[in-house]
Structure 1
Amino acid sequence: MYAVVKAISCDEFDLRTFTPDDPSCFYLNIRLRIGLAETSGADDFELCVCTPEWLRQTVTEPRWGRHLLIVREYSLASIEKYIQSYVAECDGDDWKTIATKLSRMVAWEFEDYQS
């Protein structure tokens, strides 16, 4: 089994038309819909995307950096390609195994959920 990206979006902007004021200094949260290739369903994952310059200007004290993708400048095509490449590497015998691998880099809506 393997996962695929079914949708990439942002709650604050339409990513297809969004352009940051400064492509080398920006931050945004993106939502990923990722599911098994052979099904129509998907789970939500979130990822923060920013540049080193944004970090330099914004972070003044030590911070944790989990679920963070750092890019040199804004390029939706490059960001999507990088995400899709990572997701394509996450395979397993079941969805939980795959989602656990994915959640190393992107925040999974069911991470730490106990039934």
Structure 2
Amino acid sequence: MKAMLKRLDLNSATAFETFQPSEAERFGLWLHAGVGMADADAADDFRFFVCNDAWLSYQRELGIACGARYLLIDGPFDASTVKAQLEAFLESCVGESWDEVVAAVSKVGLWEFEDYQP
């Protein structure tokens, strides 16, 4: 099984494809993604924090500790580059079961059922 990006948005009225951050050279933002298997229509929700090195450096200058889960993009913000990098990461998330695929995706993204206890 392999993960596949089914949808991508900012969880706002602004479309991801047309979004421009106030500082394209230094950006960090949360993306909401539907991730599922390539051979199915269904998708689980994940949140991904996407940033570039300039944003991380700025946070360090401010003395702000950054979490370990983020997708690092090289260079300024470009929606098509961000989407392509996320798709490339997801293509590397494979497993024998959906649980194994989710575990791989969760190394970077936050799964909607993370820490869920029935």
TM range (shorter): 0.7 to 0.9
Shift of 1:21: 2.9
- Measured on the aligned residues, the alpha-carbon RMSD in Å equals 1.7
- Give unmatched runs, 5+ long, in structure 2: none
Whole-Å Cα distance in 2 between the matches of residues 74 and 50 of structure 1?
Answer: 8
Q: Calculate percent identity across the aligned residue pairs.
A: 27
Say if 1:92 and 1:56 are closer, same or farther in 2 by CA, change over 3 A. Answer: closer
Shift of 1:66: 2.6
CA contact (8 A) 1:26 1:51 kept: yes
Shift of 1:92: 1.2
Q: How many residues align?
A: 115
Shift of 1:8: 0.9
Normalising by structure 1, report the TM-score.
Answer: 0.87
Q: Which amino acid aligns with 2:6?
A: K
Q: Which moved more, 1:83-92 or 1:46-55?
A: 46-55
SS of 1:86's equivalent in the other structure is helix
Shift of 1:33: 0.4
Pairing of 1:44-55 with structure 2 (within 5 A)? 44-55=45-56
Give the alignment partner of residue 100 of structure 2, picking from 94, 97, 101.
Answer: 97
CA contact (8 A) 2:3 2:94 kept: yes
Q: Which amino acid aligns with 2:115?
A: D
Shift of 1:63: 1.3
SS of 1:16's equivalent in the other structure is helix
Whole-Å Cα distance in 2 between the matches of residues 114 and 94 of structure 1?
Answer: 20
Normalising by structure 2, report the TM-score.
Answer: 0.85
What corresponds to 1:39 in structure 2? 40
Q: Which amino acid aligns with 1:6?
A: K
What corresponds to 1:73 in structure 2? 76
Shift of 1:62: 4.7
Whole-Å Cα distance in 2 between the matches of residues 70 and 104 of structure 1?
Answer: 13
